[in-house]
Structure 1
Amino acid sequence: MATFSTNGVAFYKPPTNTDEYNVFSDGPTTVDDNSHRSTHLASTFDVAIVGYGPVGGFFANLLALQGHSVVLVEQSPHIYDKPRAIVLDHEALRVLQMIGLGKEIAGMISNHAGTTFIGLDGEPIKHFDPLPPPYPLAWFPTVMFIQPEMEQFLRDRGTSRFLRTTPDRDPSHGVVEVLLEHRVVGLDEDAGGVTVHVKDITGEAKFDKNMLDVVSATSLKRPAGAGETSAGDALSSGKSEPPTGAKHEEKQPFSIRAKFVIGADGGSGNSFVRKSLRIPYDSLDFDEWWIVIDTWLQRPAQPPLPPKSRQYCWPHRPGTFIIGPRNLRRWEIKLLPGEDPAIYSDPVKGLDRIKNLLGVYVEDVDAVDVWRAAVYRFHALVARKWTSERGRVFLAGDAGLCAGIRDSVNLSWKLSHMLRHPEIEPSSTPLLGTYQRERAPHVTTIVGHGKSFGLIIGELDLEKAKARDAEMRRLMAEGKVSSYRQAFIPDLDGGCVAEGDSAGGKLFPQPLVSTATGEKVKMDDALLHPRTMSWLIVAKDIEALDWLSSSSNSFMRSLGAQRIVVHPVGTNRSVESGSDTVVVEELEGVLAAWFEKYNARVAVVRPDRCYAYGAAQDEAGLNGLIEGIRKWLTN
């Protein structure tokens, strides 16, 4: 696990027209989730998820679709509305597609136009551009979104399908129970599962409409050299105090039982699960404070705002400009040494100070209306362990949203396999150990890139900034640096992949395909069971599937593996599907190019669908892959 902790609220002002800018008709901070509260709670679950943020929501949807019972325990009464994630990548979108929500999000996202890094002289020193089509996963590679809006969508269109009270709930799906305003206060793990001790905290901790960071256990800390305690601390402490004289009835904890527990309950300072496992973090030596300001563009600014996002690499005030969906415009601005973040939460002068900050980058400040702002501590940390000793408690989702979604899809299919095979002791199988083996290097690399870019943007020394600009322009002119964001996203370098296979662990494409009816769809949607996290056997011709031995075929069927043939574009071969094999034709050549790159005719794809287990060119190679999977899943 890695984390960027976020502590302290600066200021909040609701948008003037919430109906125009936000899906919440009654404003963005007080979403009523009473419909998600469970009234008849079971006592035993397959999985307990601590934290009902977006990562917890993804876990719940993935696991329930596989038929597993889930309980979500969340201490807040409603969604955490604060400037946080704003970018999703194509892997995250593919997971949304897997849980059946891909087609509904079009109106909530916008394509990322790219980013320009601006040097001291106001000219570019680096570019990040979107990948050109055809897109590897059939989704635009990077999109922008509004996190509270997406979270509400994930609950209303996702989790609500599995609630016990949902009419016409699919009986093949697992039941999801939701405990809002409840806090996990203890975990007792044994060989058979985990006893989760839960306390009802109704009335003890709620979001205040004017305070966004009210569940943080850590009060705002100041950068080195900052001033003493000020009146603004009342807003920035992250606490919502009851009225004077108010009394809360002390409720006794109760217990529920789960076979596995997932801690998706925040970063280093806030996660009860991490603390209960006593897992330390290693620092990547990056610890800075920034203020994040979300605004709505009310009219065209004069002069116009940049057409692409920008990184202002200016020592006098490093900052970032981001173009969000619809009229959302965000600025992320570094706090300077000695600057007290509490001054921006002053209820009288805070808004004027925020506008003064915006004035560093925007001449026409009145063209935007400040919606919300928060002070963040960007602290790069990596957990030394992601799993308990007995292998029944896991950490997830504290290294950013895209990383958390990768956590969810990586771990969910492995837990699903274990739940279907209760005879396997978690600590005795290598499968669950691959969660940390695969995710930790990936997260460390991503956080390391974030640190590197942060050092580029946040350089405060003028002479060093001049040297940086010169070097980056030289590299840009010589074409020695990639301009594509996806180039910085690593593949898997180990774990549950075919050893020695060049395709093992590589991002597996999702091409656009044409079905037998002529419908044009993304490949995953053409599967017989598109919502099932199953192994895939993907071949470029039907003959390659005949290579499966009877033993391999029987084993893969026992796993519920799906088979699909994707003919290269223009082959004019039949796309009539059989009873257990889908046959389609590719439209753009993305998958054909992947097969050519790895000299293969067939690939075995992991249940997360994003990564290949391996690829083969002949019968021996394909059956060898299946034998490797057998060892991973049965030992």
Structure 2
Amino acid sequence: MNNTVDTDVLVIGAGPVGLTLANLLGGYGQRVTVVEARAELIDYPRGVGLDDESFRTIQTMGLVDEVGRHTVPHHIMRLVNGKGQVLVTNDPPTEEFGWPRKNGFVQPLVDRELLAGLGRFDSVDDVQFRHRLEELTEADDHVVATVRVDGPGEDSALHRLKARYVVGCEGGRSFTRNWMGVGFEGKSPSTRWLVIDVDNDPLGTPNVYLGADPKRPYVSIGLPHAIRRWEFMLFDHEPAELVDDPAFMGRLLADHVPDPSRLDVIGRRVFTHHGRIAGSFRKGRVLIAGDAAHLMPVWLGQGWNSGIRDATNLAWKLTSVLRGQAAPELLDTYDVERRNHAQAMIDLNLTAGSIMKSDCKVAALRDAAASVLNLVPSAKSYFTDMRFKPMPRYDRGVVVDATSRTPGRAAERIARRLLPMVDAPDDRSPVGAQFIQPRVNTQDGNGLLLDDVLGPWWTIAAWGNSPARLLSLDDLERVRELGATLACFVPERQRAWAEKEYTDAPVPVAVVGDADGSLKRWFDNRPLGVLFLRPDRFVAAACLAQEASATLASVLTAMSFTPREV
């Protein structure tokens, strides 16, 4: 390994994905350098929807308070027709991952908090602005990045950085992706949209309206800090220059605000939706994430969130390889795991866009169908609870099949021969899906979020028992090398007993009191009692207690674990 590298991970681009990745890597103690071509962060609003999965990542970064003050929770979305009648309400009440499913936010302010968060880590350099990537050269054990550094005036100079890995997070026109030589397949609908952001919100309502109006589709969004966003579809014959015409703007807004002339406009811009995905997310020591890897229309607010999912998936895998805990092959699972879900979100957003842009005849059929569906509780809740959104579930990657214990794959169903588990109430495998995050009690306090108790790395958790009693001494040595937390989930009434009983375990065991029964309910209907949780809180494996040792071996194989040399 070359010991003269400048950094472990060079992140190209100081957008939300690059900043999130740098914060996560910094929290794991890795050396990180971020370079950005612009002179400063983008200051105009872009993303407006932050979901519960992303908030969980923000929790892992330790920036909940900082980011939270720029968000509004439970951001309700209503799809309305041209008459203003509500067709669908999207208001998911769940907080299964510890946070409201939908949150409105102001991206420039959140991005600033992510940037400021990097200052906590000695291993993370200050973001180097005015640094434009111009070339990459890959060697056996590092990558050389050539960047052009723009100085004051027209002065510039070339500078070279050596990094063990490079991650391109520089957006849809990614130099890194182009250097990798991979395709960027998909669709770019010709429809253009005008975005208008205003301060001193003239409406003052806190939620989102998607106007599926065949005369002119629109969006109206209430955001934190008294910001209001409108988006209007432009027709083919309308040039982008109309955004500078006060009369045109007045006509657009006449049906939406009492007095368009009194708006405090922050910014106006025209954009086109894209639905594209790269042919590969990795080439050797170079990877891409966020918009560099996939672009999606904005309808369901998943562009920003999909990029955060990328960073969350990639950070712990890069860290595992850099620490020597896993072979570089682990990084192949980043593409394997993230690709299908990113494509599913692109497809869903393109479908949502087609619903928004329906012509008059199709809109009439759509409105009639919505009226009927709203009379059916199960159909209505499908939209209200946001069950139409594909939740990430990895059937390949760092997963272990719950029946066969095959590393790298996870079937959708669990098959058991043991009675009475043959007919378990829920035989869907939790492997590859994200685990819940209830509030729990420990000896350190009550009402704590589970992730804060378990820490940001691997966890092996057992219901009603200590995992240390289920694993051999050799297994426990692997647990130490991995740095995993052992946790015992018990009913709150048994917590005092468990804390005393498991005090002398060969590896410390965190005793977690199930304060409201959420953990027990999770285990109640599933034919399993032990979980292996990845750092990103996805379930890598699940088994019965007697299978814990064999399942650990499969997990280590799935993650390309490299034992410490003696």
Residue of structure 2 equivalent to 1:566: 489
- The alignment status of 1:293 with 2:196, answered yes or no, reads yes
Q: Which amino acid in 1 is paired with 2:361? A: E
Offset at 1:284? 4.0
For 1:44-443, list aligned pairs within 5 A. 44-132=6-94, 135-156=95-116, 158-162=117-121, 169=122, 174-203=123-152, 248-249=154-155, 251-267=156-172, 270-284=173-187, 286-297=189-200, 301=203, 308-344=207-243, 346=244, 349=245, 351-365=246-260, 368-388=263-283, 391-398=284-291, 399=295, 400-421=303-324, 424=327, 426=328, 429=329, 431-443=330-342
- Classify the secondary structure of the residue corresponding to 1:80: coil
Alignment of 1:581-596 (within 5 A): 581-596=509-524
Equivalent in the alignment of 1:474? 372
The aligned counterpart of 2:441 is 514
Q: 1:423–1:618: structure 2 CA closer, same or farther, 3 Å change rule?
A: closer
Letter in 2 for 1:629: V
Secondary structure of 2:280 counterpart: coil
Task: Could you tell me which runs of 5 or more consecutive residues in structure 2 were left unpaired when the two chains were aligned.
Answer: 296-302, 402-410, 415-428
> C-alpha distance in 1, partners of 2:248/2:324?
59
Over 3 Å counting, the alpha-carbon distance change for 1:141 and 1:423 in structure 2 is closer
Which amino acid letter does the alignment assign opposite residue 144 of structure 2?
T
Q: SS of the counterpart of 1:477?
A: coil
- Aligned length in residues: 514
Contact conserved, 2:325 with 2:482, CA < 8 A, in 1?
no
Letter in 1 for 2:127: V
Cα 1:470–1:202 shift into 2, 3 Å: farther
CA distance in 2 between partners of 1:58 and 1:119 (Å): 37
Q: Secondary structure at the match of 1:150?
A: helix
Q: Contact (CA 8 Å) 1:138, 1:522: kept in 2 or not?
A: yes
SS in 2 for 1:82: coil
Contact 1:283–1:380, Cα closer than 8 Å, also in 2 = yes
Give the C-alpha shift of residue 54 in structure 1.
Answer: 1.3
2:432 aligned residue (494, 500, 505):
505
Distance in 1 separating the partners of 2:113 and 2:190: 33
Q: Give the deviation of 1:488 after TM superposition.
A: 0.6
Question: In the TM superposition, what is the alpha-carbon distance from 1:590 to its structure 2 partner?
Answer: 2.6
Counterpart amino acid of residue 378 in structure 1: H
For residues 624 and 151 of structure 1, the distance between their equivalents in structure 2, rounded to whole angstroms, comes to: 43
Structure 2 counterpart of 1:128, one-letter code:
N
Structure 2 CA distance for partners of 1:309 and 1:55, relative to 1, 3 Å: same
Match of 2:532? Answer: 604
| More strand per residue | 2
Alignment partner, residue 346 of structure 2: 447
Name the residue aligned to 1:215.
none
Deviation string for 1:224-257 (max 9, x for gaps)?
Answer: xxxxxxxxxxxxxxxxxxxxxxx623x3312111
Identity %: 29
Deviation of the 1:181 alpha carbon? 0.6
Q: Which amino acid aligns with 1:513?
A: V
Structure 1 residues 491 and 594: alpha-carbon distance in aligned structure 2, compared to 1, 3 A threshold = farther
Partner of 1:625: 551
Shift of the 328–570 alpha-carbon distance from structure 1 to 2, 3 Å rule, reads: farther
CA contact (8 A) 2:79 2:88 kept: yes
Residue in structure 1 matched with residue 420 of structure 2 by the alignment? none
Looking at structure 2, the residues matched to 512 and 287 of structure 1 have their Cα atoms a distance apart, in angstroms, of: 47
Q: Which amino acid aligns with 1:551?
A: D
Give the aligned residue type for 1:176: D
1:603 deviation in Å? 0.8
The answer on 1:547 being equivalent to 2:452 is no
Classify 1:293/1:586 alpha carbon distance in 2 versus 1 (closer, same or farther; 3 Å): farther
* C-alpha contact 2:345 2:390 (8 A) present in aligned 1: yes
For the Cα contact (< 8 Å) 2:19–2:115, is it kept in 1?
A: yes
Amino acid at match of 1:558: E
Tell me the distance in 2 between the aligned counterparts of 1:464 and 1:606.
46
Q: Which has the higher mean CA deviation after the structures are superposed, 117-126 or 45-54?
A: 117-126
Does the aligned pair in 2 maintain the 1:110–1:145 contact within 8 Å? yes
3-state DSSP class of the match of 1:450?
A: helix
When structure 1 is superposed on structure 2, of 309-318 and 281-290 the one drifting more is 281-290
Q: Is the 8 A contact 1:598 1:615 kept in 2?
A: no
AA in 1 matched with 2:125: V
Structure 1 residue 285 displacement after superposition: 6.0
**2:256 maps to amino acid:** Y
| Cα drift, residue 536 of structure 1 | 0.8
CA distance in 1, matches of 2:520, 2:247: 56
SS in 2 for 1:542: coil
Alpha-carbon separation, structure 2, partners of 1:600 and 1:367: 61
CA shift at 1:624, angstroms? 2.7
CA distance in 1, matches of 2:439, 2:242: 51
**Is the alpha carbon distance of 1:544 and 1:580 closer, same or farther for their aligned partners in structure 2, counting shifts above 3 Å?**
closer
Gapped runs of 5+ residues in structure 1?
Answer: 1-41, 163-168, 204-246
- Other-structure match for 1:238: none
